[in-house]
Every structure is written in structure tokens, then in C-alpha cells.
Chain A
Amino acid sequence: MDVPQTFHGATGPAIEGFPDRPDLSANVFRSPKERAIEVALAFCALVSVLTTLGIAAVLVFESLNFFAEVSIVEFLTDSRWTPQFAEKHFGIRPLLSGTLLVTVIAAVVAIPIGLMSAIFIAEYAPVRARRVLKPGLELLAGIPTVVYGYFALTFVTPLLQPIVPGLNVYNALSAGIVVGIMIIPMVASLSEDAIRSVPRSLAEGAYALGATRIEVVLGVMVPGAISGIIASFILALSRAIGETMIVTLAAGAMPNLTINPAESVQTMTAFIVNVSLGDTPQGTVEFYSLFAVGLVLFLVTLGMNFLANIIIRKYRERY
């Protein structure tokens, strides 16, 4: 090969009369190879955009098959969800209320514990303790949800049964508690970041005025970080709404319009899983109902994630 090598590994014609010198006027930054690499990389980045479009397209188009047979009005207003019965009703309210019940219980567990952990790690714990506590909480976040489901069904429910009278084997209470435990690390870690981003000078100013540590924390640091803290609550609850395996295992499969946490409920996610676990023939209205419920779930979680982002961007205190 007598193609001369350039400094750049790119090839270009040699300058006439100087066969051993590469042509430095050739723009290697625009060589075909560089262009091809850039296009290939851009194509890879496009995959994530296509994923979003794919999810939206699948949910919308498959839901159309469902709404061809069930009116949107019935879907939103009927109070019964009985796809498996002979007399079919497709009112999503029982599934929504089941999801809401589990999420509220999870919030009651996760918000106070998560926020207090965040305060402790950010303001109280010495550096060495922080190095142990943070990864410890992150371990909690790394446990597979099916393991949490096992824990809820075989440990938390039997533990609660003597305390809570009339507690069903499958119930919203233990599922909600365990979902709450699952999202504690998320609340704690995001809130801690928010608290730590409040400038130290504000705390020192308060100390200089004679405030005690607790007064600095509750009076200066937490209010200063409140937008980030609320965003962390919303993100964690959006995770709780989308959580699937815990509720499938521990909350049961009874679409139940109730606010009694001792009863069995079915969440949107648990319904989706149960349809695909059963032998529902593809192409039936029961099968397509899965996509309609998925669409609602997608819109709710997407809306909450957007809301959290808006709060972070709009209401952040700028220091």
C-alpha cells in the first residue's frame, strides 16, 4: 500500500513532489470516517427517543382497541371492575382507589422516616457515620421488589395479624407499609441532597444568632431546601404508584372500591400483571383493557415526574 499515512490515521493524497509528506490541508475533522462515527453515535442516542415514542404509540393504539368496545365514560365512571366475570364491567375507579390507598400508606411510612433520615445524615451524622449510613440505605434501594413482596406476604402480614383485627391475608396495609420501606432511600437521598445544597453560611448565621442545632435545622435548612424535599416526595410516590411485585404478591387481586386498609385491593399494576399471568386470550377486550390501564398508569407517573421537575426548577431558592 503506498497510501501515505497522515498524523491522524486518516488517509489523504500526498503532495506532488513530496511523496513522504501527508497533505495537511485535508480536513481530517470532516473525514468520512469521523462523519460516519458521529452519525452512528447519534443513531444510538435516538434509541432512547424511539423507546418513548414506542411506549406512547403502543399504549395509545392498543387502548383504541379497548375503547372501541368500552366507552371512555364507562371506563372513568363505572364503580365496578370485573373483566373476568360473565357480566363485564370496566370502571377503573376500584383500581385507582386501590393504587391510591397503597400509595397513601406508603407515604405515611416513607415521608416522615425518609425526611428524618435525610436530616440526620445531612446535619447530625459525623462524616464517618455518613459513609456507612448512605450506602446502607442504598442497599435497601437495591433489593429486588419481588423480595420485598415475599417479605410483605410472609413476614409483615403475619406480624400485623394479631394487632389489626380482621386483617385479610392479602391486604393493602402490609403492601403499603413495605412499598413505603422500599421508597425510604429515595426520599432520604434526594432530600439529603437538597438540604446539603443550602449554603453553609445560612446555618452559620443562625448559629451566630444563638439558635440551637435543632432550630437551625427546622427553621433554616429544611425551609431552605423545601422545593427539593417536596420534589423528592413526589418522585418517590410516583415510584410507589408504579411498584408492581409487592402489591401483586401482598395486596391481592380483588378490585375493591374501599378505603379499609385491612381489605384486599387490586392496584393498576397488579391488574396488568394478573392479566398476563392468566390465560386471557390475546385479542379479547380483557386483554386490551391491560393497555388502557397501562395508559392511565403511564400518564399518572409521567405527570408526577414532570410536576417534580417543575417544582425543582420554578420554586428553587437561588443562593
Chain B
Amino acid sequence: MDDAQPFDEKLDQRRRKGLLLGGVFFLATIFGLVVLLTLMVDVVVKGGQWLDWEFLTSFPSRIPENAGIESAIVGSLWMIGLTAVLSVPIGVASAIYLEEYAPRGWFLKLIQININNLAGIPSVIYGILGLALFVRFMALERSLLAGALTMALLILPIIIISAQEALRAVPSGVRESAFALGATRWQVVWSHLLPVSAPSIMTGIILALSRAIGETAPLIMIGALTFIAFLPESIMDQFTVLPIQIFNWTARPQPEFQGLAAAGIIVLMIALLLMNLSAILLRNYFEKYRVR
């Protein structure tokens, strides 16, 4: 068949072009993963030597050898806990109202557009809101509560959107059969929809909180401090969090402090990894119980 007349003389050329571009597309795809890997290796190489038990259990210090992140870790835990308490009930309740109660119409559409837009507003703007509303107007000062309220507003749209998707994924047969047995709307929600969609809602909440744990700008705006040599004991105390500590160390010119920043990043990334992992495991574990 060697001397057979090809149907398209340029076919080889067209195929070569396809192969070449396919290769370029592949390289572009793994570019992101290569950067991710580079970032991780860089951080571990620079920060590994600073990461020890003393680092985890010391307060920030002007002397790099003595500096640690105890107040930042405790501050971040307070912040996440408080943010979750404030944002989860309101977020899930909003989603239930929008999906199960609100009459379809322009008003619902307006709220929905509003929530989608809120998710696209830069986080530093939420910081401005927190500064003006919570710190100055409500006079909460630079407290954990002011920070958590700001963070709660920031992640509220994320929680609402993911909870709405979770509720929408529940087959309508579940609702209809419950209604058919005479259940009221709230009984349908409470005893059917929430248990069925709980794993997906939980996954969304964990991912939203993992966004909150890494946010820096809004908390700088409301004035979270860096040199905190005490642990917060109430929600009205001043505080610092891990990302702010990392920011402060990175901004210093001395290489020792950048090493400390890298060590802080390792801790932050491990925390994020654990949260993401638990979200994935949760989703996979409950996948087999899913109502179809």
C-alpha cells in the first residue's frame, strides 16, 4: 500500500500539527502542578530547619531563634471556631430558605444574584466593612469577635452556595414521599433533607472554613496584631493568626525571618491539607449511603 494515493496529501502535516499542539496543551496543564511542587519543595527546604517543638510552643520574638507561633496557632483555632459558630447556622438556614421556602420569582432571583456577586467581591473589601462596621461603629475594637464576624460574612456566600447545591442534589422523590405522608415543610427539611444532604453540606462547610483559615487581608484591615505574647482568653481579646504571622515575617528583610515564615507556611499547609483530606474522606465515605 506504499504507493497508494493518499486522500489528503497534507494529512501527515495536519497530524503533526495536532500532535505538537497536544503536547503543548499537556505541558500547560502540568505547569500548574510543577509550580505547586516547586513551591512545596522551596518551603520545606527553607523552613524545615526552623520547624521544631519549640517553634510551635513559643511566642513571637525579635530574636529569630526564640520566635514561635503559639499565639498564632491558638488565635487561628479561636478564629476558625468562632467563624464556624457564626456563619454555619446562618448559611445553612439561608440555603434552606432559598431552596425550600422562598416563592420562585424576581425576589429570589435578586437574592441569588446578590449571593453570587458577594462571592466575587475581593476579601479586602470585607476587611473595610469589618473595620467600619465592627471595629469602629459597633466598637468591638480589634477583638477576636470583630475578626470572626468579618470572616463569617466573607465565607457566608460560599457556605450558602454549597449548601444550596447539596439540597438541590436530594432527589425530589424524598420530598414528595414525605409530603405525601402528611409531613409539614419543616418536618420534611429537618427529618429528611438535612440528614440526606448532611455529608455534602459538611464538605462545603469544611472547604469554606479552609478558605477562612488562610485569609490574611481582612484581618490585617481590622487590625489583628503580630506581636502577641499572650493567649486570647475571651472573644474580646486581641489576637493574631497564622497567615498574619507569616505575612509579617515574610515582609522582613532578614533571611532568618523568611525561614520562620516558611516554617509557618508548612504548619498552615499541613492544617489545610488535613481539612481538605477530611472533606474528601467524608464525601467518599458517605457516597455509598447516598440516596439516588
Contact = CB atoms under 8 A, between A and B. Distances in A.
Interface of A: 7-10, 28-29, 31, 33-34, 37-38, 40-42, 44-45, 47-49, 51-52, 54-55, 58-59, 62, 112-113, 116-117, 119-121, 124-125, 133, 136-137, 139-140, 142-147, 149-151, 153-155, 181, 184-185, 188, 210, 212-215, 218, 235, 238-239, 241-245, 248-249, 269, 272-273, 276-277, 282, 290-291, 294, 297-298, 301-302, 305-306, 309
Contact of A113 (B8, B32, B125, B215): B32
A209 to B, nearest CB: 12
A42 B36 contact: no
B125 A55 contact: yes
A215 B14 contact: yes
Nearest to A150: B250
B284 interface: no
B5 to A, nearest CB: 16
A237 to B, nearest CB: 12
A238 B17 CA distance: 34
30 contacts: A38-B185, A44-B90, A45-B93, A49-B114, A55-B121, A58-B129, A113-B31, A117-B29, A119-B25, A120-B22, A120-B28, A124-B22, A140-B32, A142-B211, A144-B214, A144-B216, A144-B268, A145-B214, A147-B269, A149-B250, A150-B246, A150-B250, A181-B32, A184-B32, A214-B21, A235-B120, A248-B217, A294-B124, A297-B124, A297-B125
A213 B262 contact: no
B57 interface: no
B227 to A, nearest CB: 13
Given A150-B265, A273-B124, A213 B22 contact: yes
Interface string B213-256: 11111001101000000000000000000010011001100000
A184 B33 CA distance: 11
Contacts of A59: 125, 128
Interface of B: 8, 14-15, 17-18, 21-22, 24-26, 28-29, 31-33, 35-36, 38-39, 42-43, 46, 89-90, 93-94, 96-98, 101-102, 111, 113-118, 120-129, 131-133, 136, 153, 156-157, 160, 182-187, 210-211, 213-217, 220-221, 223, 243, 246-247, 250-251, 258, 261-262, 265, 268-269, 272, 276
Contacts of A120: 22, 25-26, 28-29
A240 to B, nearest CB: 10
A280 to B, nearest CB: 11
Contacts of B43: 147, 150
Nearest to B280: A135
Contacts of A306: 117
A58 B125 CA distance: 10
A42 B101 contact: yes
B46 A48 contact: no
A75 B89 CA distance: 42
Contact of B184 (A34, A143, A188, A243): A34
B10 to A, nearest CB: 10
B35 A181 contact: yes
Contacts of A249: 247, 250-251
A124 B217 contact: no
Contacts of A28: 184
A174 B248 CA distance: 19
Nearest to B243: A146
Contacts of A142: 210-211, 214, 272, 276
Given A34-B186, A45-B97, A51 B28 contact: no
B42 A41 contact: no
A150 B117 contact: no
A232 to B, nearest CB: 13
Contact of B220 (A143, A214, A242, A276): A276
Contact of A44 (B97, B258, B261): B97
Given A8-B187, A147-B268, A155 B182 contact: no
With most chain A CB atoms within 10 A of its CB, the pick from B14, B38, B129, B265 is: B129
A136 B33 contact: yes
With most chain B CB atoms within 10 A of its CB, the pick from A8, A133, A214, A277 is: A214
B28 A29 contact: no
A125 B211 CA distance: 29
With most chain A CB atoms within 10 A of its CB, the pick from B8, B22, B24, B128 is: B128
B243 A133 contact: no
Contacts of A33: 186
B133 A58 contact: yes
A273 B122 CA distance: 13
A185 B216 contact: no
Contacts of A146: 214, 216, 243, 246-247, 250
A38 B153 CA distance: 22
Contact of B124 (A48, A121, A140, A242): A242
B25 A244 contact: no
B111 A48 contact: yes
B122 A244 contact: yes
Contacts of B94: 41, 44-45, 47-48
B181 to A, nearest CB: 9
B132 A244 contact: no
Contacts of A37: 186
B225 to A, nearest CB: 11
A55 B247 CA distance: 26
A273 B131 CA distance: 12
B254 to A, nearest CB: 12
A9 B210 CA distance: 39
Contacts of B42: 151, 154-155
